[in-house]
């Protein structure tokens, strides 16, 4: 159960990071509200998972999921270019996160 909460919290990290950009410095109310809610729920899920899972592994998984999904969203929207190097680094990041889960 803790891993499910951690993964969902990582997904919400990507949501709040994207909403933060869309808020344009907190000048747009809807993305600002999405940012605040997603960040609070994401942090709460991370905090809860850290009570059960190792802190370092939890944080690395949370950041890895959030960072990967944020970059993939940038690729999908066309605001970031999916170069071979970026894609290989994302595969390395995902592999590292999966490896941490396997050895913990």
pLDDT in tens, 56-97: 989 999 999 999 999 999 999 999 999 999 999 999 999 998
pTM of the model: 0.89
**Structural contact between residues 7 and 97, judged by C-beta atoms closer than 8 angstroms:** no
Of the given ranges (29-33, 66-70, 82-86, 100-104), which has the lowest mean pLDDT?
A: 100-104
Question: Taking the mean position of all CA atoms in its chain, how far away is CA 79?
Answer: 18
Task: Specify the pLDDT at position 23.
Answer: 98
Q: How far apart are CA 15 and CA 37, in angstroms?
A: 10
Look up tokens 């941490």; give the residue.
100
pLDDT, the chain, mean:
95
């Amino acid at each position: 159960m803790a891993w499910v909460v951690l993964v969902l919290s990582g997904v919400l990290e990507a949501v709040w990071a994207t909403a933060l950009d869309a808020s344009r410095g907190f000048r747009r109310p809807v993305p600002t509200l999405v940012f605040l809610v997603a960040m609070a729920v994401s942090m709460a899920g991370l905090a809860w998972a850290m009570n059960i899972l190792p802190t370092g592994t939890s944080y690395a998984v949370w950041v890895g999921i959030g960072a990967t999904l944020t970059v993939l969203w940038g690729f999908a929207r066309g605001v970031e270019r999916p170069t071979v190097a970026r894609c290989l680094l994302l595969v390395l990041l995902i592999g590292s996160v999966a490896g941490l889960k396997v050895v913990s």
